Structure 1
Amino acid sequence: MLSVAALRARWTGLLGPFVALCLGVALMSMTALILVSAQPRVPDRYAGAEVLVAAPAVEAAPGTFPERRPWSPERAAELAGQLAAIGGVAAAVPDRSFYAQAVVDGRPVGEPAPGDPQGHGWSSAALAPYRLVAGGPPGRPDEVVLDRSLGLAPGSRVTLLTATGPAGYTVAGTVDGPGFYLADPVAAPLARGVRLIGLVVADDADVTAVRAAAESVVGRDGTVLTGADRAEVEPPRDVRTRWIGMQVLTAMTALAGFVSIFVVASTFAFGVAQRRREFGLLRTVGATPGQLRRLMYTEALAVGAVGAAVGAVLGTVWAPAFGALLVDAGFQPVGFRVRIGPWPPAAAYLVGLVVALLGVWSASRRAGRVRPLEALREAVVDRRPMTRSRWIGGILTTAFGLLLTVRLAGAGPDDIVNYALYAAMALTGGLTLLAPVLVPPLTYALTWPLERLPGATGMLVRRNALTAVRRTASTSAPMLLTVGFAVLIAGSVATSAGAYASRDAAAIRAGSVLVPAGTPGLSDAAVAAVPGTALLPSTVYADPPGGAATGAGIPIIAAGVEPAGFARVNGRLRVLSGDFAAFRGPETAVVTAGLADRLGWSAGAPALLGYPDGTGGQVRVAAVVADGSIPAQLLLTREVVRAHDPSALTEAVFGTATTGQDGGGSHRWAALGARLVDVAEYAAERDAAEDRLVWLATLILIGVSAGYTAIALANTLLMATAHRARELLVLLRSGATVRQVLATVATESGLVLAIGTALGLLVSMVALLAIRSALSEQVGVPVELVVPGSTIGLLVAGCVVLALAASVLPARLILRGGPGGGGYRVE
Structure 2
Amino acid sequence: MKTALAFLRERRTAFVGSFTALCLGAAILTMSALILLSGGSGVPERYAGTAVLVQSGPLDPATFQEAAPFAPEDVRRLTRDLAAVPGVHAAVPDRSFYAQAVDGARPLGEQRTGDRLGHGWSSAALAPYRLTSGRAPQTADEVALDRSLGLATGARTTLLTADGPAPFTVSGTVDGPGYYLTDARAGELSAGVRVIGLRLEAGADAAAVAAGAGRVVGDGGRVLSGAGRADLAPGEDEEIRWIGGQVVSAMTGLSAFVTVFVVSSAFAFTVLRRRREFGLLRTIGATPRQVRRTVSVEGLVVGALAAAVGTLLGTAGVPVLGDVLVDAGFQPRGFAVQQRPWVSVLAFLAGVAIAFAGVWTASRRAARIGPMEALREAAVDDRPLTRWRRITGLAFVALGVGAAVATASAAPADMIVFALVTAVGLITGTALLMPAFVPPLVRLATRPFRGARGATVVLVRAGMLAAVRRTSSTVAPVLATVAFTVLITVNTATTAQSYADRDVASVSAAATVVPDRTPGLTDAEVRRITGSPIVPTVLYAGSARTPVEAVGVEPAAYAAVHGLSDDDLAALKQGEGAVVVSRSGLAAFGARAGASVPVTFEDGTTRPLRIAAVLDDRDLPHAAVLTRALVRAHDPAALTAAVHRTGPPVEVRGGREITVEEFGGRDAAAEDRLVRVFTLLLVALSAGYTGIAVAGTLLMSTADRVPDLRILRRSGATARQVLGALAAESALVVAIGTVLGALVAVPSLLGIRAGLSGTLGIPVALVVPWPPILATVAATLLLALLATVLPAARSLRTKEGAPDLRTTD
Normalised to the residue count of structure 2, the TM-score between the two structures is 0.93
Partner of 1:239: 238
CA distance in structure 1 between the aligned counterparts of 2:423 and 2:254, rounded to whole angstroms: 16
Distance 1:414 1:336 in 2: 27
Aligned to 2:430: 431
2:558 corresponds to 1:566: yes
Q: Give the Cα separation in 2 of the matches to 1:542 and 1:400.
A: 41
CA–CA separation in structure 1 for the residues paired with 2:566 and 2:446: 58
- In 1, the alpha carbon distance for the partners of 2:9 and 2:711 equals 19
Does structure 1 retain, via aligned residues, the 8 Å contact 2:704–2:807?
no
Contact 1:580 1:590 in 2 (8 A): no
- Aligned-residue offset at 1:786: 0.4
- Counterpart Cα distance in 1 of 2:104 and 2:382: 78
Which digits, 9 at most, give the CA deviation of each residue in 1:378-425, with x for residues without a partner? Answer: 642223333444455555654664565456556664664344333333
- In structure 1, distance between residues paired with 2:402 and 2:210: 62
SS for the counterpart of 1:520 is coil
Partner of 2:497: 498
Distance 1:84 1:739, change over 3 A: same
Letter in 2 for 1:288: T
Q: Does residue 555 of the first structure (1) align with residue 554 of the second (2)?
A: no
Q: Distance in 2 between matches of 1:700 and 1:646?
A: 42
Task: Give the deviation of 1:126 after TM superposition.
Answer: 0.9
Q: CA deviation at 1:347?
A: 0.9
Deviation at 1:332, TM superposition (A): 1.1
* CA distance in structure 2 between the partners assigned to 1:47 and 1:407 by the alignment: 49
1:809 matched to 2:790: yes
Shift in alpha-carbon separation, 1:778–1:68, aligned structure 2, 3 A: closer
Residue aligning to 1:315: 314
Pairing 1:248–2:247 present: yes
How far the C-alpha of 1:309 sits from its partner, in A, is 0.8
Q: Does 1:338 align with 2:337?
A: yes
In the alignment, what sits opposite 1:648? Answer: 638
Rate the CA distance shift 1:756–1:573 in 2: closer, same or farther, 3 A. farther
Matched ranges for 1:339-378 at <5 A: 339-377=338-376
Deviations 1:568-604 (A, max 9, x none): 22236898xx973464332222234455455453444
Q: Which residue of structure 1 lines up, in the alignment, with residue 121 of structure 2?
A: 122
1:397–1:246 Cα change, 3 Å: closer
Q: Supply the AA of the counterpart residue of 2:774.
A: G
Compared with structure 1, are the counterparts of its residues 582 and 209 closer, same or farther at alpha carbon in structure 2 (3 Å cutoff)? closer
The one-letter code sitting in structure 1 at the alignment partner of 2:746 is M
Pick from 747, 758, 769: which aligns with 1:788?
A: 769
Tell me if structure 2 keeps the 8 A contact 1:533–1:562.
Answer: yes
Contact preservation (8 Å) 1:583, 1:590? no
Give the corresponding residue for 2:199: 200
Check 1:416–1:247 CA distance in 2 against 1; reply closer, same or farther (3 A cut): closer
Structure 1 stretch displaced more, 585-594 or 500-509? 585-594
Partner of 1:751: 732
More displaced 10-residue stretch of structure 1: 590-599 or 134-143? 590-599
One-letter amino acid of the structure 1 residue matched with residue 336 of structure 2: R
In the TM superposition, residue 63 of structure 1 has moved relative to its aligned partner by 2.6
Alignment of 1:527-566 (within 5 A): 527-544=526-543, 553-566=545-558
Residue 477 and residue 129 in structure 1: after superposition, are their counterparts in 2 closer, same or farther (change >3 A)? same
| 1:723 matched residue in structure 2 | 704
Q: Which amino acid letter does the alignment assign opposite residue 686 of structure 2?
A: S
Structure 1 SS opposite 2:519: coil
Q: What is the distance in 1 between the residues matched to 2:479 and 2:723?
A: 24
SS in 2 for 1:144: strand
In the alignment, which residue of structure 2 is the partner of 1:10?
11
> In the superposition, relative to structure 1, how do residues 593 and 752 fare at CA in structure 2: closer, same or farther (>3 Å)?
closer
Q: Equivalent residues in 2 for 1:632-671 (5 A)?
A: 632-657=622-647, 662=649, 665=650, 668-669=651-652
How far does residue 310 in structure 1 lie from its aligned partner after superposition? 0.5
Report what 1:618 is aligned to: 608
- Counting aligned pairs with the same residue, the percent is 52
Structure 1 residues 89 and 295: alpha-carbon distance in aligned structure 2, compared to 1, 3 A threshold: same
Structure 1 position 169, deviation (Å): 3.2
SS in 2 for 1:649: coil
1:549 corresponds in structure 2 to: none
- Tell me the amino acid that sits aligned with residue 672 of structure 2: D
Whole-Å Cα distance in 2 between the matches of residues 419 and 229 of structure 1? 37
Distance in 1 (CA, whole Å) between partners of 2:565 and 2:219 is 41
SS at match of 2:717: coil
Does the 8 A contact of 2:535 with 2:640 survive in 1?
yes
1:205-284 mapped onto 2 (5 Å cutoff): 205-284=204-283
AA matched with 1:251: A
Question: What letter matches 2:789 in structure 1?
Answer: V
Contact 1:53 1:222 in 2 (8 A): yes
Distance (Å, rounded) in 1 between the aligned partners of 2:122 and 2:289: 77
SS in 2 for 1:220: helix
Specify whether residues 23 and 767 from structure 1 end up closer, same or farther in structure 2 by C-alpha distance, changes over 3 A only: same
Deviates more, 1:772-781 or 1:402-411: 402-411
**Per-residue deviation at 1:628?**
5.4
Q: Distance in 1 between matches of 2:204 and 2:414?
A: 57
Q: Does structure 1 conserve the Cα–Cα contact (< 8 Å) formed by 2:618 and 2:761?
A: no
In structure 2, the gaps of 5 or more residues are: none
* Residues 786, 572 of structure 1: alpha-carbon distance in 2 compared, 3 angstrom cutoff: farther
Return the alpha-carbon distance in structure 2 between the equivalents of residues 555 and 375 of structure 1: 69
The answer to whether the 8 A contact 1:439-1:469 is kept is yes
Q: Which sits farther off after the overlay, 808-817 or 17-26?
A: 808-817
- Measure the CA separation in 2 of the matches of 1:234 and 1:346: 31
In the alignment, what sits opposite 1:484?
Answer: 483
Shift of 1:686: 1.4
Q: Does 1:707 align with 2:688?
A: yes
Q: CA offset at residue 765 of structure 1?
A: 3.0
Equivalent pair of 1:40/1:232 in contact (CA under 8 Å): no
C-alpha distance after superposition, 1:18-43 (max 9, x if no partner): 11110010001111111121347221
Structure 1 residue 741 corresponds to structure 2 residue 719: no
Distance 2:52 2:401 in 1: 60
**Secondary structure at the counterpart of residue 820 of structure 1:** coil
In the superposition, relative to structure 1, how do residues 416 and 541 fare at CA in structure 2: closer, same or farther (>3 Å)? closer
TM-score by length of 1: 0.91
Question: Residue type matched to 2:709 in 1?
Answer: L
Return the alpha-carbon distance in structure 1 between the equivalents of residues 563 and 802 of structure 2. 76
Distance 1:590 1:795, change over 3 A: same
Question: Which deviations, in whole Å up to 9, do the C-alpha atoms of 1:451-483 show, x marking residues without a partner?
Answer: 576643333222222222221122111111111
* Rounded Cα–Cα distance in structure 1 between residues aligned with 2:265 and 2:802: 29
Q: Distance in 2 between matches of 1:447 and 1:644?
A: 74
Q: Specify the code of the residue in structure 2 equivalent to 1:443.
A: V
1:374 is displaced (CA, Å) by 4.3
In structure 2, the partner of 1:41 is: 42
Does the alignment pair 1:694 with 2:675? yes
Mapped partners of 1:757, 1:180: distance in 2: 58
Superposition deviation, residue 789 in structure 1? 1.0
C-alpha distance 328-641 of structure 1, shift in aligned 2 (>3 A): same
Corresponding residue number in structure 2 for 1:584: 574
Equivalent-residue separation in structure 1 for 2:792 and 2:446 (angstroms): 21
1:372 deviates by: 1.5
SS at match of 1:819: coil
CA 1:242–1:776: 2 relative to 1, 3 Å: closer
Distance 2:147 2:317 in 1: 35
Deviates more, 1:441-450 or 1:457-466: 441-450
Deviates more, 1:344-353 or 1:760-769: 760-769
The alpha carbon displacement at 1:46 in A equals 0.6
1:548 matched to which residue of 2? none
The alignment's C-alpha RMSD in Å is 2.9
Superposed CA deviations along residues 64-99 of structure 1, whole A, max 9, x for unmatched, are 222122124554244223322333222322111112
Give per-residue Cα distances to partners, 1:140-175, cap 9 Å, x unaligned. 433333333333333444433222223343333332
- Are 1:76 and 2:75 an aligned pair? yes
Counterpart contact for 1:732–1:819, Cα < 8 Å: no
Q: Distance in 1 between matches of 2:806 and 2:218?
A: 86
